[in-house]
């Protein structure tokens, strides 16, 4: 892959993604790019940054439907090493038997459903959602010699996909509505600094009652039980 060829490929991909007007079109376009890279099917998994212990997950996929059901039934989300490694955006992950050693029957069962080799890479959206793009082949071949090409291209395709879904206001990208007022954001920032309600009221020249009112309102919005969680969640989704 020469630099000239890559930039031509990149420009063409960006143009195609910009013209998408509906989520189903994204699925077809990603499948087309998957096949152009020599693979058979893909999964684009979007993982929300919060809640920390049970993050929201959405999947756009052309994997065999029975395999998707089996993956969900066995809760392989909890042990899949690809999901863990792809928390670092831009890092390509080649699928190997050794990689899945600690993942129970995941590798074995994936092979039974025709997923014999693959490669994954991720990108991050402005709201800190991670989009993990995985492409798989029915043929058991190594991707090591193509690592740089696959890493660069899948990272860009994942980035473009996140942009499209965000532009289309797709549910998979809705971590939390970003409609906080300027006052609420100020209170969030000082809460994250560890300031008490009294201290925040003095800093912002407002009543303690007003501070508590906004904090309680934000607790409901975040669906959390205390001020510490508000600040943690706000930081996790890039609000502060």
pLDDT category at 230 given cuts 50, 70, 90 is confident
| Model pLDDT, residue 234 | 81
More confident site: 74 or 218: 74
Tokens representing 113? 């459903």
* Greatest pairwise CA separation for the chain in angstroms: 66
Least confident span in 22-31, 150-159, 176-185: 176-185
Quote the CA–CA distance of 131 and 16 in Å, as a whole number. Answer: 19
pLDDT category at 233 given cuts 50, 70, 90 is confident
- pLDDT higher than 80, residue 4: no
**Residue (of 235, 128, 127) closest to 191 by Cα position:** 235
Tokens representing 80? 């899949």
Q: How many CB atoms within 10 Å of residue 76?
A: 19
84 phi, psi to nearest 5 deg: -70, -50
| Model pLDDT, residue 25 | 97
Cβ-contact 121, 150 below 8 angstroms: yes
pLDDT category at 176 given cuts 50, 70, 90 is low
Quote the CA–CA distance of 220 and 222 in Å, as a whole number. Answer: 5
Mean pLDDT (the chain, rounded): 91
**Tally of CA atoms within 13 A in the half-sphere of 147 that contains its CB:** 8
pLDDT category at 43 given cuts 50, 70, 90 is very high
Task: Give the global pTM.
Answer: 0.82
pLDDT category at 178 given cuts 50, 70, 90 is low
More confident site: 126 or 132: 132
Judged on CB neighbours under 10 Å (0-12, 13-18, 19+), 234 is buried
| Model pLDDT, residue 1 | 63
Quote the CA–CA distance of 125 and 171 in Å, as a whole number. Answer: 14
| Model pLDDT, residue 206 | 94
End-to-end CA distance of the chain: 40
DSSP E strand stretches across the chain: 41-47, 57-61, 93-94, 117-124, 130-137
More confident site: 168 or 3: 168
| Model pLDDT, residue 149 | 93
Per-residue pLDDT tens for 70-119? 999 999 999 999 999 999 999 999 999 999 999 999 999 999 999 999 99
> What are the chain's domains?
3-173 (3.30.450.80), 182-236 (1.10.10.10)
The secondary structure element, H or E, covering residue 86 is none
- pLDDT higher than 80, residue 213: yes
């Amino acid at each position: 892959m020469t630099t000239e060829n890559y930039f031509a490929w990149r420009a063409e991909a960006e143009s195609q993604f910009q013209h998408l007007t509906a989520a189903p079109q994204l699925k077809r376009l990603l499948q087309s790019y998957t096949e152009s890279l020599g693979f058979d099917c893909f999964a684009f998994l979007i993982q929300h940054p919060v809640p920390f212990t049970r993050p929201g997950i959405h999947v756009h996929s052309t994997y065999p439907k029975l395999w998707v059901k089996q993956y969900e039934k066995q809760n392989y989300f909890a042990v899949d090493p690809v999901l863990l490694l792809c928390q670092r955006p831009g890092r390509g992950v080649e699928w190997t038997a050794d990689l899945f050693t600690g993942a129970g029957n995941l590798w074995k069962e994936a092979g039974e459903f025709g997923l014999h080799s693959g490669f994954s890479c991720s990108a991050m959206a402005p709201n800190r959602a991670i989009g993990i793009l995985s492409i798989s082949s029915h043929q058991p071949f190594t991707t090591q010699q193509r690592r740089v090409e696959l890493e660069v291209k899948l990272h860009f395709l994942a980035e473009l996909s996140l942009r499209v879904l965000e532009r289309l206001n797709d549910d998979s990208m809705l971590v939390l509505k970003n409609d906080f007022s300027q006052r609420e954001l100020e209170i969030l920032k000082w809460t994250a600094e560890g300031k008490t309600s009294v201290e925040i009221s003095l800093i912002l020249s407002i009543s303690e009652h007003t501070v508590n009112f906004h904090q309680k309102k934000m607790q409901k919005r975040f669906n959390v039980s205390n001020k510490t969680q508000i600040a943690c969640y706000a930081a996790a989704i890039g609000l502060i």
